[in-house]
Amino acid sequence: MFAPGFAPRRVVVTGMGIASPLGLGVEHVWKRLINGESGISAIQSFDVKDLPAKIAGQVPHGSKAEHGLDLNEWIPVKEQKKMARFIHLAWVAAAEAIEDSGWAPEDEEGRRATGVMIGSGIGGLETIQEAGALVANGRTRRLSPFFIPSALVNLASGQVSIRYGFKGPNHSAVTACATGVHAIGDAARLIALGDADVMVAGGAEAAICELGIGGFCAARALSTGFNDRPQAASRPWDRDRDGFVMGEGAGVLVLEEYEHARRRGAKIYAEVIGYGMSGDAHHITAPAEDGDGGYRAMKAALRSAGLSPADVQYVNAHGTSTPMGDDIELAAVERLWGDAAKGLAMSSTKSATGHLLGAAGAVEGIFSILAVRDGVAPPTLNLENPSRESPIDRVAKTAQERPIRVALSNSFGFGGTNASVIFRGAP
Amino acid sequence: MSETADKVKKIVVEHLGVEEAKVTPEASFIDDLGADSLDTVELVMAFEEAFGVEIPDDAAEKIQTVKDAIEFIEKQQASA
């Protein structure tokens, strides 16, 4: 598959974009995150009276100036209806990331060397719900010709490639809540192996609809005890946590081969230095109790980076605020870091954003990069009474200034899929 | 302009996101108004919904301009 003497190439991050419950725009969202603000609120877009979970992390409506989302400012009206909401969010985050990177290939060679890998955990769920209602009401013939291309997961990558003319690898990760990390890691490997020079990579999710909330409620995964106090509902590691809070949004990174970025004088945020994956082979929704899946993903990422645990100063945890998952991940990190756990900071930014499912890994990857850039560990909100003690500093409630040179971000998904990615400051 | 023509024009403007002035009777959905094949399928469905008529696939294929649409719908309405 590779020529003799082949050596993988270095990959750096040159652009970032976020649409999230904390608003639109990387710097705006980061500032709110560091300030300890929450993006969780009551669901307004549909009637929740039959649903036990009534809150979510929703991308705020508003103008660009307000860091909110007004689709008419971003996507031609005629095109909007051809995309489910997760693609709208991917489009917005990709636009920010691509503009931020300054990469606008002017020739065919440059366009062919630029690919897209934006995944989603579920895809156009609300669109599927609406189409299903037509079928249930005997109106199957009224299905829109745009229904399928609007709902398909890989159409986020497809739409972004069409808009910008990027003709390189066009791919999508679909690994539930591990999607975002898989997209970053796999896209970085495509660059490292020479399939592309630039990849627009990330994840997008918009599953806040009756089908999404109802489905995760049925699986007993969502918080239901804090409907009257939405901002207190996502509380990773806290003894009163009772499930995750659904979030929506998108995170997109422009990944680029190091020399390519250097030659064009691009601003470099960080280098992607490690990536590891594993499977639990245990249960469809529950993590294995020994945490071995997460442990092996992190270990594989460290191995690929050529680092030992003590070289990592910050972990952005999967930490969804579920009774089981949080402490299992904590134990896996403690086991891997050993004596170095004392010096480690680990926080869950899902405490502020909710769980963005397939977008989580991408948005949290960006947070990890900014933690390295600014030397700040973002807080774990609502961590008032940890369900157990740990030598690891979980950055309870308030952000901390810390020397962070290397950060690792975890994402674990249904089906027992685990992925970890490691970033280091700009070379 | 007939009521039907007015309504057709409005639907075309809304679905294809084009300026009203461009929606002349002779305008071709694909060549003049920027529609692709899926847009025209959706447009025909919108006509069916708005006018309560059925437009079979073979007839839909012949509806290529604004005038084609108006004439087809008026004929359907007259025979109903």
pLDDT along chain A (427 residues), means of 10: 89 98 98 98 96 98 98 94 97 98 98 98 98 97 96 98 98 98 98 98 98 97 98 98 98 98 98 98 94 98 98 98 97 98 98 98 98 98 98 98 98 97 95
Largest CA distance in chain B: 32
Considering only CB atoms, which chain A residues are within 8 Å of B41? Answer: 145
Closest residue to B41, CB basis, from A82, A145, A149: A145
Q: Is A146's CB within 8 Å of B38's CB?
A: yes
Distance from CA of A82 to the nearest CA of B (A): 10
Residue A406 tokens, joined: 């290397």
Considering only CB atoms, which chain B residues are within 8 Å of A145? Answer: 38, 41-42, 45
ipTM: 0.88
Give the integer Cα–Cα distance in Å for A412 and A166.
30
Give the integer Cα–Cα distance in Å for A137 and A25.
41
Question: Residue B78: what pLDDT?
Answer: 86
Chain B interface, mutation test: which of A75, A139, A144, A147, most B Cβ atoms within 10 Å? Answer: A144
A328: left (phi over 0), alpha (psi -120 to 50) or beta: alpha
Distance from CA of B42 to the nearest CA of A (A): 6
Question: Residue B1: what pLDDT?
Answer: 65
Question: Residue A2: what pLDDT?
Answer: 82
Q: Is B17's CB within 8 Å of A144's CB?
A: no
**Which is the catalytic residue, given B6, B31, B32, B36?**
B36
Considering only CB atoms, which chain A residues are within 8 Å of B16? Answer: 78
Q: A105: which residues sit within 8 A by CB, 6+ positions away? A: A111, A113, A114, A165, A166, A198
Give the integer Cα–Cα distance in Å for A205 and A124.
8
Active-site residue A283, yes or no? no
Distance from CA of B71 to the nearest CA of A (A): 23
Closest residue to A78, CB basis, from B17, B41, B45: B17
**Which is the catalytic residue, given A88, A171, A177, A182?**
A177
Return the higher-pLDDT residue of A215 and B2. Answer: A215
A–B interface: beta-carbon pairs under 8 A: 18
Considering only CB atoms, which chain A residues are within 8 Å of B22? Answer: none
Question: Residue A1: what pLDDT?
Answer: 80
Q: A402: which residues sit within 8 A by CB, 6+ positions away? A: A313, A314, A345, A375, A376, A377
Question: Residue B34: what pLDDT?
Answer: 94
Instruction: Identify the contact set of chain B against chain A, taking CB-CB distances under 8 A.
Output: 15-17, 38-39, 41-42, 45, 49
Crossing angle for the helix pair A125-136 and A210-218, to the nearest 10 degrees: 100
Question: Residue A272: what pLDDT?
Answer: 98
Considering only CB atoms, which chain A residues are within 8 Å of B49? Answer: 142
Q: Say whether pLDDT at B77 is over 90.
A: no
Question: Residue A5: what pLDDT?
Answer: 86
Distance from CA of A173 to the nearest CA of B (A): 27
